[in-house]
Chains A and B, each alone.
Chain A
Amino acid sequence: MTHSNLSSLQVIASFICAILALGHAQVNQQTNLEGEWVIISNVNQLGRHRLFITQNGGNAVFIHKGQSGSYQPDCELGGNRDHLLTGQLQGTNLTGTIVLCSDPDQKQIIDDCHLPSLNSQGSVWQTTFKATAASYFAPSVGDPAVAPDTNDFIDGTWLSEGWSGGMEGGHHINCHRDKNDDRDVPFKLERACYFSGLDWVNRYPESKSTDKLEQPFRDNVNKFIAALQAAGANVRINTTYRPIERAYLMHYAWQISDMYFDQGTWHAKQSINPSTVVVPPGIPICWVHRKANAEFDLAASKAAARAMIGPNGYGEVPPGAAFDPHTDLTSPN
């Protein structure tokens, strides 16, 4: 029997992470992770997968963009995982467990060293992670002056435990824990979108100044207004310039809302399903809200759209704001 000392067996062991039944995320006023997130760095057999984190639960489950509910992506060596992260939030510190899929080396170490696995194939396991959660706005978009070009993110590392031992007959033997070979493997998530709602109304403000108008229309309007005022009319300018982002938001909030407010009361109207609305790259809005199980929450989605077009929002009345669906929003104003 031969022994090769300190052959590095990079693998994790979930038995030290005995916190299988983690509590709910502790959300404070400063940080709220509820909503849709996307993986922006390669995480263990996952590309830009999308995740949903619930308000009251610490789970980050896999979702498809624009589809209701969660799913379980397959691992390369079999099995699957129903969530990526389970964590607890303290201030901006997020800690917990991350579920990972084995590569062939990891699977062999799990098998040979009898390390814990979450399935009988040794293809799914978990380890601990620690991360910083930056939530500038969430879950709905807020004041752009706070962090105008920054999305919320979860930036952390998961622990890859070091194991050492020898090799015999192509199998690992004398496995033992070796902290010298521990590694912190980085991962990062970014908030994919922010829930629709009143906060969006303050974004992309419009102008009431005729200076925003192009010539010769600007001079024409100024002369018309001067004539009206000279005749004693009351003139109030509603909008002279509306950014295309605002036009997009006003139009689709109107389309999604099932009611509008006019003459002091709410009126029913026809509406569309929020999941059918295309979201352009520059406007990270979640028109669809979700329940704790990641199913679409159409009632919450409609309520948010109602708030946006209502008296405290855009104040839209029929026919609602116009928007050309062919508008190029890839290079927004």
Chain B
Amino acid sequence: MTITWTGDLNITDANGQQVNITSTPKNGADNTDLHALGQTYGVTKLVGDRPHWSDTGH
């Protein structure tokens, strides 16, 4: 999936904690802070395949 945003991304992780992502780039393919947040949901980014997220990262 393709994820984009503008400004800061103030988002709730799977543990109910509020996380403010201020880093760039502001897209799901490259933002490693969002990758870490996705992990809390059990959704893992496959690096090297821009839109690819999975349960295993493969």
Chain A interface residues (CB < 8 Å from chain B)? 216-217, 220-221, 223-225, 227-228, 230-239, 317, 319, 322
Contact = CB atoms under 8 A, between A and B. Distances in A.
Interface in B9-58: 9-14, 38, 41-43, 48-51, 53-55
B4 A234 contact: yes
A227 B12 contact: yes
B48 A235 contact: no
Contacts of B50: 317
A228 B10 CA distance: 9
A206 to B, nearest CB: 12
Contact of B1 (A216, A230, A238, A317): A238
Interface range on chain B (Cβ under 8 Å from partner): 20 to 34
Interface of B: 1-5, 7, 9-14, 38, 41-43, 48-51, 53-55
Closest 5 CB pairs of A and B: A231-B11, A224-B41, A233-B5, A220-B42, A217-B55
Contacts of B38: 224
A45 B50 CA distance: 55
Given A220-B41, A224-B41, 15 more contacts: A216-B42, A217-B42, A221-B41, A225-B1, A228-B3, A228-B9, A230-B11, A231-B9, A233-B3, A233-B11, A234-B4, A235-B1, A236-B1, A236-B3, A322-B49
A318 B43 CA distance: 22
A234 B3 contact: yes
Contact of B49 (A228, A230, A319): A319
Contacts of B2: 235-236, 238
A322 B9 CA distance: 31
B55 A234 contact: no
Contacts of A224: 14, 38, 41, 43
Nearest to B11: A231
Nearest to B5: A233
A319 B13 CA distance: 30
B6 to A, nearest CB: 8
A235 B3 contact: yes
A133 B54 CA distance: 47
Contacts of A236: 1-3
A223 B42 CA distance: 10
B45 to A, nearest CB: 11
A230 B43 contact: no
Contacts of B54: 217
